[in-house]
Structure 1
Amino acid sequence: MYLTDRSAPAGADSDQGRRRGLRPGVAPVVLVLGTVSLITDISSEMVTAVLPLYLVSTLGFSPLAFGTLDGVYNGVSALVQLTGGHLADRMRNHKLLAGLGYGLSALCKPLLLLVSSIGTLGTVLALDRTGKGLRTAPRDAMISLSTPSGKQGRAFGVHRAMDTTGAMLGPLAAFLILSAAADGYDAVFGVSTCVAVLGVVVLVLFVPGRRQGTPTTGSNAADRLAPGVRLDARADGPADVYVPGARQAPEADEAGAADAKPRVRVREALELLRLPRLRALAGCAALLGLTTVSDAFVYLLLQRRAGIGEQWFTLLPLGTAVVFLLLAVPVGALADRVGRHTVFLAGHGTLLTAYALLLWAPSTPALPFLVLALHGVFYAATDGVLPAALADIVPEQLRASGLAIVGTSQALARFCCSLAFGAAWTVWGDGPALAASALGLLCCAAVASRVLRPTNGNR
């Protein structure tokens, strides 16, 4: 288990958690990684908050051009996730890969001060997303491996709540800087660089670099099989990851098992796709991602629909972040109880409601608050719940690879959606483009609800 302090045995976790005022099932490393994500998100969201308006209003990008850049921005991250996840499992050092990712993103922030063309801007943004792609799967693997199976939703909820605190503070910081600085965009990029470096420092100093044993409380018994056991998609039930009847490694040897295991090969990671439950989850995440309009487009649509002044545009992500922050932990805990697939699908239902309001609701002062609230609920019900759903599917030695496969399928689908939505907006206008997305989301959600229906312990 990943631990920030080399303390008591696993059986004492709940007692220590109560004495420290922490909720059971939330390991200290979750809080440390949450702090790193909080700091890093302040930096990245400062840039993200100003970028759509800067590109569309200041530089005069068309919706198609912005959609292409936004798609590349997210598509690069999706492709690199596979590399980051596999390398983290192969090297058995999740912290190293996560640190490289955070460091690369921090390095890209000052480069934004030097760009002068769309080509150089696209390159810098692609490098920034490369950093995000490298760090996402190893970071989520550390969270998952430090948490019992039954508490995954809560652990990811705690992390996402801290991460979202940064997403909330970033746009607010950008708003204050733009209000006070004469050359506001350069000031935003400069401050963002300093904050990003601080996040890397916290990661290096406070996140442990080596695993301490294997999680046993509430985790799949199959995760503790002896080295070299192969995957088999024909197995049944919650432990359908392994060949039935395979030998288990003795508990006394668990501490040394990680070092004794052979390096994970690419073929072993690809064999995860033979698991029916992983394929179903990855396929549904991709299907729903094809009709999930990017945040930047949602905020641009809301600004035009509600007549919001440009000076207030950077505060729109703040509304989403506040709701996400308030609901991430309770919705994650709810997903542990009622089923993660159920909550994941319900989250897309709230997004569909937000689309409907943007299309047909009268333009009243309440419209921005309603849309942003629904947008925040969507993220609370999906962002941490999706990786939590993998806890009982993917073995620990391939956890980062499994997270990367599902995350990449979703991100690549959203990349395609950005391109398609930008093109549809340019050709048809914003209203018809959003209506097509809403209809597509409704159809995709209906298909996903049948594919992910609970069977054989699949929640």
Structure 2
Amino acid sequence: MYVASARPRDRVRGKVPGTVVALGAVSLLTDVSAEMVTAFMPVYLLFSLNMSYAQFGFLDGLYTGATAVLRLVGGHLSDRTRRHKAVAAAGYGLSAVTKLIFPVVGASAFGIGATLAADRAGKGLRTAPRDALISLATPPERLGAAFGVHRTMDTVGALLGPLVTFLLLYWIGVVAGPVFVVSGCFAVVGLIVLAAFVREHPAPAPSGPKPSVRAGLALLRGTGYRRVAVASAVLGLATLSDAFVFVLVQEATGAPLSLLALFPLGTALVFLLAAAPAGRLADRVGRWPVFLGGHVLLLGVYALLLLAPGTGYWGAGAALLLHGLFYAATDGVLSARVSALVPETLRASGLAVVQTGQALARFASSVAFGFLLQYAAFGTAVHAAIGSLLVAVLAAWWLTARGSAPHGDASPGSGSPGGGSQQAQDDAAVGG
């Protein structure tokens, strides 16, 4: 398989490139904006507008799945033009504009759905080129660490967003306008930081396949890449959205409803502390085992929904701890894993194909679980979630273990001089 490349000027021993730090600052500000909306939506839709679980599941799935098609578009455009920063800026700009549209649509379910779709379309457009900027600026053996640092800074924003929303709700009550306006201001500042501080240094066109939609999809012919793409989509089908996790944790544990808007903060705090160590661990022992291990932690979250009824703060805290560790072990780790499997000329496209599969799978998951929760008992719905995730983890393990070495890529010291590259270890782990 192809191996991630980096130019000599970007190799800084023991450090991540400045591009990664600058993009981390952009993501920090943008995530304050995005997580303010994420924290506000369950309270607003379920308890202010009194939407049903089925309606909420559709809108929440739309919030996740609307990124799907534009991930492919963003990846293709940035690879074809070699202007990753410009394409990412278009995505950040679209999301910033939507925050100012939310107050205008009011309580209209159609208006809220359309605006959520536009917001997430902006995320879809920017994600692949942003991750491509990170991977192209980073030495291959430090991809996990670089994505870990970026996700750590991103998570500072995810930590602050719910806190800002909670304070606004405390001061002014459940009023939508101020929440969306403040969210939009953070998004605009993030866009300004991207334009002013993120540098995309021109470089000679690298050798490799010519960027095109067909070439991006043709990556699926590669055994290792295809298995990672399919396995991550299968896991996405069995992954409940954050909003559903938080609502279910509150209902199962009996924690005060007033704390629901703060639950994303708990997940983000754990993610903040664990993202960089998880990235370094993935560089050392293998990215795919860490990614699968994260989904085992998510199984623990689902199990707690049944085992911790009425436990209040303690049960909620344990669930949010496991939820944050799940994200630390999966979010940036998957991007690092995929980056090692695609050529530089198709880096954004390769990331976009995998991310699109995940987004579509999670859209289907949210819609299906919303209907299940609407028409079945709480325990039945949770048992279904546990069973589907367990099957998905076993299927992903079986799919990626075929043809691999007995111990996959869990080779200590991979990526170190003389110790074999992490990419080669990962390729073996997925049979590529």
TM-based fold match above 0.5: yes
Residue 120 (structure 1) aligns with: 111
Amino acid at match of 2:282: A
Q: CA deviation at 1:312?
A: 1.3
In 2, Cα distance between equivalents of 1:378 and 1:401: 25
In 1, Cα distance between equivalents of 2:199 and 2:10: 21
In 1, Cα distance between equivalents of 2:251 and 2:173: 26
Please list, as runs of the form range in 1=range in 2, the aligned pairs for 1:152-191 lying within 5 A after superposition: 152-181=143-172, 184-191=175-182
Amino acid at match of 1:10: R
Residue 214 (structure 2) aligns with: 267
Query: Runs of at least 4 residues of structure 1 off by over 4 A?
Result: none
- Which residue among 250, 262, 268 is the counterpart of 1:315? 262
Contact in 2 for aligned 1:2/1:208 (Cα 8 Å) = no
Residue 382 (structure 1) aligns with: 330
1:330 and 2:277 are equivalent in the alignment: yes
1:83 and 2:73 are equivalent in the alignment: yes
Question: For this pair of structures, how many residues does the alignment match?
Answer: 402
Residue 254 (structure 1) aligns with: none
- Which residue among 344, 352, 358 is the counterpart of 2:305? 358
Contact in 1 for aligned 2:79/2:346 (Cα 8 Å) = yes
Contact in 2 for aligned 1:42/1:170 (Cα 8 Å) = yes
1:108 and 2:107 are equivalent in the alignment: no
SS in structure 1 of the partner of residue 104 of structure 2: coil
In 1, Cα distance between equivalents of 2:133 and 2:8: 18
1:139 and 2:130 are equivalent in the alignment: yes
Amino acid at match of 2:9: A
Contact in 2 for aligned 1:348/1:445 (Cα 8 Å) = yes
Single out whichever of 356-365 and 388-397 deviates more from structure 2: 356-365
Q: CA deviation at 1:171?
A: 0.2
In 1, Cα distance between equivalents of 2:77 and 2:168: 39
Consecutive unaligned residues of structure 2, counting only runs of 5 or more, are 406-423
Q: CA deviation at 1:213?
A: 5.5
SS in structure 2 of the partner of residue 416 of structure 1: helix
In 2, Cα distance between equivalents of 1:349 and 1:48: 24
In 2, Cα distance between equivalents of 1:274 and 1:201: 39
Q: CA deviation at 1:155?
A: 0.5
Residue 13 (structure 1) aligns with: 12
Residue 48 (structure 2) aligns with: 58
Contact in 1 for aligned 2:10/2:139 (Cα 8 Å) = no
In 2, Cα distance between equivalents of 1:361 and 1:68: 28
SS in structure 2 of the partner of residue 308 of structure 1: coil
Amino acid at match of 2:135: S
Contact in 1 for aligned 2:11/2:139 (Cα 8 Å) = no
- Which residue among 64, 69, 88 is the counterpart of 1:98? 88
Contact in 2 for aligned 1:2/1:210 (Cα 8 Å) = no
Contact in 1 for aligned 2:252/2:308 (Cα 8 Å) = no
Contact in 2 for aligned 1:178/1:185 (Cα 8 Å) = no
Amino acid at match of 1:173: V
In 2, Cα distance between equivalents of 1:444 and 1:13: 39
Residue 24 (structure 2) aligns with: 34
Amino acid at match of 1:436: A
Q: Deviations over 1:74-120 (max 9, x none)?
A: 11112210111111111110001100000000000010110131111
In 1, Cα distance between equivalents of 2:10 and 2:181: 47
Amino acid at match of 1:318: L
Contact in 2 for aligned 1:99/1:203 (Cα 8 Å) = yes
> Structure 1's 94 and 2: CA in aligned 2 closer, same or farther, altered over 3 A?
farther
1:196 and 2:187 are equivalent in the alignment: yes
Amino acid at match of 1:421: F
Single out whichever of 75-84 and 302-311 deviates more from structure 2: 302-311
- Which residue among 435, 442, 445 is the counterpart of 2:383? 435
Q: CA deviation at 1:182?
A: 5.1
Residue 258 (structure 1) aligns with: none
Q: CA deviation at 1:451?
A: 2.1
Amino acid at match of 2:41: L
In 1, Cα distance between equivalents of 2:5 and 2:40: 37
SS in structure 2 of the partner of residue 211 of structure 1: coil
> Structure 1's 330 and 394: CA in aligned 2 closer, same or farther, altered over 3 A?
same
Amino acid at match of 1:178: L
In 2, Cα distance between equivalents of 1:391 and 1:421: 31
Identity %: 50
Q: Relative to total residues, which structure has the larger helix share, 1 or 2?
A: 2
Contact in 2 for aligned 1:49/1:314 (Cα 8 Å) = yes
Residue 421 (structure 1) aligns with: 369
Q: CA RMSD in A?
A: 1.9
In 1, Cα distance between equivalents of 2:227 and 2:174: 49
Residue 298 (structure 1) aligns with: 245
SS in structure 1 of the partner of residue 96 of structure 2: helix
Q: Deviations over 1:243-266 (max 9, x none)?
A: xxxxxxxxxxxxxxxxxxxx6222
Instruction: Decide which structure has the larger Cα Rg and report it.
Output: 1
Contact in 1 for aligned 2:36/2:183 (Cα 8 Å) = yes
Residue 420 (structure 2) aligns with: none
For normalisation by structure 2, the TM-score amounts to 0.89
1:448 and 2:396 are equivalent in the alignment: yes
Contact in 1 for aligned 2:253/2:308 (Cα 8 Å) = no
In 1, Cα distance between equivalents of 2:246 and 2:338: 31
In 2, Cα distance between equivalents of 1:411 and 1:273: 17
Q: CA deviation at 1:138?
A: 0.2
Amino acid at match of 2:375: V
Q: CA deviation at 1:183?
A: 6.2
1:398 and 2:346 are equivalent in the alignment: yes
Contact in 2 for aligned 1:2/1:142 (Cα 8 Å) = no
